[in-house]
Amino acid sequence: MKALLFISSIILSIFAFVAISFFLLKSRPGEIEMQLAHNTPLFVNGRLDLAPEPGERRIFLFGLVFLPLISVANYLILVNLTKRKDKYLKFIENPYLNFFVAEVSLILIFLLSFNIILDLFRTKEQNIYLIFHPPFYYLLAFIAIGIYIFASRIFSKVKSMVFLLFGLGIIILSSVYPLMPERYFFADWSMTHHFDQVFGLIIQAIHGRTSLVDFVSQYGVIYPHVAEIFLKFVPFNFLNTHIFFILLIIFSFVFLYLAIGSKSGFTSIYSLLILLALLGISQPVYFALGLRNPIGSLYYQYLPIRVITGSFFLCFVLWYLKKESKLGYILGFLIMAISLLWNADTGVVICGAWITLLCYNTLSKYKFSLKSLRRCLTHFFLAITSIVLAIAAFSLFAYIRSGSWPNWNGLFEFVQIYYIAGDFMAPMPLVGLWYFPVFIYLAFSVHSLLGLFTGKTNYWTKFYLFLSIYGAGIFAYYQGRSFVSNLQVVIYPAILLSGFYLYDFLLKYDFSFGKLKVLFSHWGFHWYLVAAIPMIFLLSHGILNVIVWSVPAIGNFQMHWKNPPAVVELANQIEKRSEYVRANLKSDKIMIIAEDASYIHLHTQTYSSLPYGFYLEVGLTSQADALKKLIKSHKVDQVFVDYNWSNWTGYKLAQYLTLGETDQNYLQKFYTLP
C-alpha cells in the first residue's frame, strides 16, 4: 500500500509541476528574443553563442522546492484518506491492483529508457552514442549482476583488504591518465584552452598576484593560492601543476569511496563494484575514450575543483551524524564557508544542503516547536557568521599580501555572463538521461521528508536528504549547459544513492533460487524491483566502461610517454611565440591575448597582467573597457596579441581594444605574435 501511495503522490506532484511550469513559468513569447536583443550589445562585437534560459531556470528553481514538498503533502493526504475510508483502504491494498500497477510501471520504465537512448542517437552532440556499448555487452552485464544477486548472501560474507586496495589502486590509475608530456598535450587544442583558464591564474599567484585584487577567477577564489603553496615545495612546471590537480582528483574519489564503504563496508566486494560504477561514469578518462577522444579528459574546472569540497563534505556529514558533537557542528560551518571560497558553485549548494540537514535534524528531535524554530534560526545565524568570518580572513590575507582589499564583486562577475545572459548555455532536452538522477533525488528526498512527518528518521534518512539536496543543487551545472558530457560530471550523488538503495534491496530479500516463487508472489517486492531496474542499468553501464576502456587507457597512457609526436605544429608555434616575447620583452608588466597565453608565460617565466585566467573570460564590453583602461595605465607596458582569426584566438577582443584608437602611446604597447 505504502509503495503505491508513494509513487502516486510523486506522479501527482509531477503533473501539477508540469501544468504550473507550462502555463506560468516557461519562457514567454518573445522573452528570449528580448533578452538576446538586450544582452548581445553588451558583449564584445556581439555574440553568436548566447542562449538565455529564463523559463528553464525558473522551472528548475521552482521544482527544487515544489516537487519534494508537494509530493510529501500528497502522500500524507492520500494516507489520511485511506485510513478514514475502508473502501479506499481495501482498494489500495488490493494485491492485484498493486501487481498490475507495478508491472505497468516496469514496462513504462523500459519504454522510457529505450526512448531516452534512441533520442541520444538523434542528439546534436557528435558521436555521443559512442558512450554506449553493444547490446550484447549489456546482456552479459545483466547476467553477471543476476548471478551476483542470487549469490549476494555468499558475497556479503566475503571481506578482504584486497578489495579495498584494488579500489584505491584503480582510483589512482584512472586519475593519473591526464599526466602527459607537454608535446603530446599540445597535440590537441580541444582541452588545452580549458587547462589554460586554470593554469593562467596559478601562474599569476606564483608571481605574487592575489585573487580578487589582481585577478578574478570564475572557478574559485582560493584554489590558485592553494596550488601556489603546493608548487612552493616542488619545481614549478607544466607536469607538477598537473600533479597538483591529479592529487585532488584522487582525494575526491577516495572520499567518495569512504562514503560508499560507510554503508556496505570498506572491504566488501559490493563497495568495490559501486566504486567501479562511479569511476566508469564520473572519471573523465572513460567518457573521453568512449568518444574516441583520448586526450579530451582534461577539465579540471569541474573535476577536481568543483568536486573535491563536495566529496569531502559528504564524508564529514557521515562522521558528524554518528556523534553530532559540538566540535563537528562548528567544523561543519567552517568547512562550509571555506568551500564557498574554494568554488562558489559547489559551495553555495553545500551551504544550502548543510543548513537544511541541520534544520531537518532539529525538527526530527523537537518537532515543530518554538525550541526547534530558535535552533533553526541559530543554524542560519552561524552559517552567515562563518561566511563573514571566511570573507574577513581572506580579505586580511589579501591585504597583507598585496596592500589592497579584495573586490568581492568579482565573486559574482560571471553570473551576468553565463547565468543571466546565457553565454555558452544549452537547453535541456525534453527527454533525456537527466531523468535518472532527477527521479532518484526526488524519491530519496521525499522518503527522508516523510520520515520527519512520521517520526521515522534515522542516520541514513538524514544523510540521504543531504545527498539528495546536494545532488539536485550541483545538477544546476547541467541545467545551464545541458550536454551529456556535462551530466556525467554531476551525476555521482545519484550513483551513490543507487548503490545504497540496491544494498538495502539485497539485504531485505533472500534471492536464493528456492524462494523466487515466494518473492514474486509479494507485490511489495515488485515495487522495489521497479526502482532497482533503472539503477542496475546505470551502475552496469559504469562498470562496463571500466572493463571495456581500462586496457585502452593503459595503452594510450604508455603512448603518451613512449611515443610522443615528433613534430607538433602547436608546440612549435608556442616556442616561436615564446622566443618572440623574450626578444621584445621590456618589463614584467605584460599581457598576452592568445589561446596559448599561459604556456608562453610558462616558457618565458613571465606572468599576465590580465585580471582573468584567460582572455575568453572577457566577454562583456564593460570588461573590455576596464581592460582598455588598465592597458592605458602604468600597470601594463606591453600587450602581445594573436590577430589571426580562429575559434579560440583573441581576434575580436584585440579588435575591440585597438580599432578606432588614435593614442599612439597606447597603440605602441601592442605587439603582433607570429
Of 87-96, 103-112, 365-374, 590-599, minimum mean pLDDT range: 87-96
Q: Residue 386 carries which side chain, given as an amino acid letter? A: S
Cell for 157?
560474507
Position 128 scores a pLDDT of: 58
pLDDT of 597 over the 60 cut: yes
pLDDT of 46 over the 70 cut: no
Long-range interactions of 115-119: CB distance < 8 A, separation 24+: 115/431, 116/431, 116/432, 116/433, 116/435, 119/429, 119/431, 119/432
Q: What pTM, to 2 d.p., does this model score?
A: 0.94
Q: Pick the more confident residue, 72 or 620.
A: 72
pLDDT of 188 over the 70 cut: no
Beta bridge partners of 43: 620
When pLDDT is averaged across residues 46-50 and rounded to a whole number, the result is 71
Position 645 scores a pLDDT of: 62
Q: Pick the more confident residue, 373 or 292.
A: 373
When pLDDT is averaged across residues 447-457 and rounded to a whole number, the result is 91
When pLDDT is averaged across residues 319-336 and rounded to a whole number, the result is 95
| d(C-alpha 206, C-alpha 651), whole Å | 28
Q: Is 620 helix (H, G, I), strand (E, B) or coil?
A: strand
| d(C-alpha 14, C-alpha 362), whole Å | 29
Q: What is the mean pLDDT of the chain?
A: 87
| d(C-alpha 217, C-alpha 200), whole Å | 10
Which value, in Å, is the radius of gyration of the alpha carbons in the chain? 27
pLDDT winner (highest mean) among 27-41, 57-71, 150-164, 539-553: 57-71
Sheet holding 670-672, edge to edge: 590-593, 638-641, 670-672
DSSP state of 429: P
CA-based torsion, 437, 442, 445, 451: positive or negative: negative
Position 87 scores a pLDDT of: 65
Position 607 scores a pLDDT of: 93
When pLDDT is averaged across residues 435-445 and rounded to a whole number, the result is 94
Residues of 54-84 as b/e, b for ≥16 C-beta within 10 angstroms?
bbbbebbeebbebbbebbbebbeebbeebee
Of 307, 322, 272, the closest CA to residue 162 belongs to 272
**Tens digits of residue pLDDT in 363-387:** 998 888 899 999 999 999 999 999 9
**N residues, the chain:** 674
When pLDDT is averaged across residues 284-290 and rounded to a whole number, the result is 76
pLDDT of 463 over the 80 cut: yes
Position 294 scores a pLDDT of: 57
Please identify which residue in the block is written with the cell numbers 571566511: 390
**Tens digits of residue pLDDT in 238-247:** 889 999 999 9
**Tens digits of residue pLDDT in 150-174:** 888 888 888 899 999 999 999 999 9
pLDDT of 574 over the 80 cut: yes
**Confidence band, pLDDT 50/70/90 cuts, at residue 413:** confident
Position 126 scores a pLDDT of: 45
Of 264-278, 403-417, 639-653, minimum mean pLDDT range: 639-653
Of 161, 157, 491, the closest CA to residue 302 belongs to 491
Position 671 scores a pLDDT of: 93
| HSE toward the beta carbon, residue 141, CA cutoff 13 A | 23
Position 110 scores a pLDDT of: 80
Contact 638, 587 (CB under 8 A): yes
**Confidence band, pLDDT 50/70/90 cuts, at residue 127:** low
CA-based torsion, 632, 635, 638, 643: positive or negative: negative
Position 241 scores a pLDDT of: 93
Of 649, 659, 597, the closest CA to residue 628 belongs to 659
- In degrees rounded to 5, what are phi and psi of residue 268? -95, 155
